[in-house]
A and B are shown apart, each in its own frame.
Chain A
Amino acid sequence: MTLILDIVLRLAVWLLLAPLLPGIINKVKAWVAGRRGPPVLQLYYDLAKLWRKGVVLSTLASPGFVAGPAVAWVALTGAAMLMPLGPAGSVVSFNGDVLLLIYLLALARFCTVWAAMETGSAFEGMGAAREVSYAVLAEVAIIAAVLSLSVETGSVSLVTMLSPSLGTGAVLLAAGLFTVLLAENCRVPFDDPNTHLELTMIHEVMVLDHSGPPLAAVLHGASVKLLLFTVLLVQAVLPMGELSPLGAIAALAAGVLVVTVGVGLAESLLARLAFRRVPLLLTTAFLFCLFALLVAWKGGAE
């Protein structure tokens, strides 16, 4: 009984809090630009509105067009369930659950790309190709980060892995994971979530032809993914083992807030990169994670 209560509570926290993050990012951007900006709860209103609307289906599209966003949303929610939340741990934890997390993220991406290809539109295909080619590089970086954490703690289970120690390795890992977060969630140096020019979009162009509840699933899934990466980054860098449970939760929440504001600042202060410069930045992120791995390996042997 407590297990079911635990799962329901976690689902509520993840699903209800996730749309807050894009709202905070937009508020920070508006604040830097000197505008009033949309309300922080804007994404909740958007989701409610989209949920009530009907769906426009192309005669070309197979059921995969609707199934893609649904499966992606479920995969992202499942990945969120695997992620431990500070002292509360996670619902299910087993050896190698970190690999399942990475594969669930890959499955979500595959389904989004699949649904994009279903429309038969050239723009969607272009966005899908970009998304996948950047994901290849970002995935290498995240696997290097996971390796460095597992070498440092000698474990392949998320609950025990995410207990880092402060040091050079943590700084490198933070830089690498933050860049991966920006790339994976299509934030500014890689993609501009506000752009409305199909030629330059990555994530947004893939969901151009979705409408109604499937679009709501895509948007909500994206916000869950953003929260997932922020929580991963905070827990991979901030040692919270010695804090009291309440203090650890507060530290986690503060860390998530700091990272979100950081994303907003990066978005207001940086310009987006030309497409051909993106692989260089992603390679840099990979190298940050690789050198964190080197520090973990060298430090562990001494």
Chain B
Amino acid sequence: MSGGVWMIGHPLLNLLIGLAMGLNLLALGSSRLPSIIRAMSVQGMLLGLMPLLLESANLDWRIILVVLATIVGKGLVIPGLLRRAMRAANIEREIQPFLGYVPSLLLGAGGTIAAVALARALPLMPEHAGSLLVPGAIASVLTGFILMIGRVRAISQVCGYLILENGIYLFGLLLIHSTPLLVESGILLDVTVGVFIIGLIVDRIQRAFDSLDTRKLNTLRE
């Protein structure tokens, strides 16, 4: 509020969030791992653009730096790492998920609608009321949960985790004025390192078990 123009209810911003919600459903409905990764990375890039719209009145180099870092990190580096892990493990498809594609798609759509309905009931600040930021954030978090619970492959679970993180990032945009940029860059770094490590672990799991089915990882052996 301090001098900056609040652009929360901006139609272009709502369009971007709507697209991000559509990408959630795309990730839920697709069986091929590359398309889940693509949906996740495009969503990350869309979210990365949002600070530019929110802060279009007072742009400075730090915001542009964060935008660039988010787009490169979520749009290029993390998907690149995941694709490499996928190639190393030599898998393309999710087979026999716990939750079928149609049920998870319907669950995700129900969650999105519930999020829109819920956001109207929440006691939000008046300048946030007309925006899709809160429903988009809740819907992305729900999508991430469904992907993490319903899928069997480690890589699609990681994509679920990243979509969940995108949802939290959307929540964070509400506080863009009060969160130090250091926190944002810290989160981004954490996520990148996390995916890097997961990529390595996926490779090790593949070598040890000849499969990435996480159902095989639930018993301890000597």
Chain A: residues with CB nearer than 8 A to chain B? 168, 279-280, 283-284, 287, 290-291, 294, 298, 302
Contacts and interface: CB of A to CB of B under 8 A. Distances in A.
A73 to B, nearest CB: 34
B29 A280 contact: yes
B102 interface: yes
A190 B25 CA distance: 21
B102 A290 contact: no
A283 B130 contact: no
A168 B101 CA distance: 25
Contacts of B29: 280, 283-284
A280 B102 contact: yes
Which secondary structure dominates where chain B touches chain A? helix
Interface string B168-193: 00000000000000000000000000
A283 B105 contact: yes
Contacts of A287: 25, 105-106, 109
A302 B9 CA distance: 12
- Interface size for chain B: under 10, 10 to 19, 20 to 34, or 35 or more residues? 10 to 19
Contacts, number: 26
3 A-B pairs with the lowest CB-CB distances in the bound complex, closest first: A287-B109, A283-B102, A280-B101
A290 B109 contact: yes
B25 A294 contact: no
B18 A290 contact: no
A290 B113 contact: yes
B5 to A, nearest CB: 21
Contact of A279 (B18, B102, B130): B102
Interface in B103-122: 105-106, 109, 112-113, 116
A294 B102 contact: no
B102 A168 contact: no
Contacts of A284: 25, 29, 105
Given A287-B105, A290-B109, A168 B25 contact: no
A17 to B, nearest CB: 36
A280 B28 CA distance: 11
B15 interface: yes
A173 to B, nearest CB: 14
Nearest to B132: A298
Interface in B1-44: 15, 18, 25, 29
Nearest to B105: A283
Contacts of A168: 15, 18
Given A280-B29, A284-B29, A287-B109, A294 B116 contact: yes
Given A284-B29, A287-B25, A294 B18 contact: no
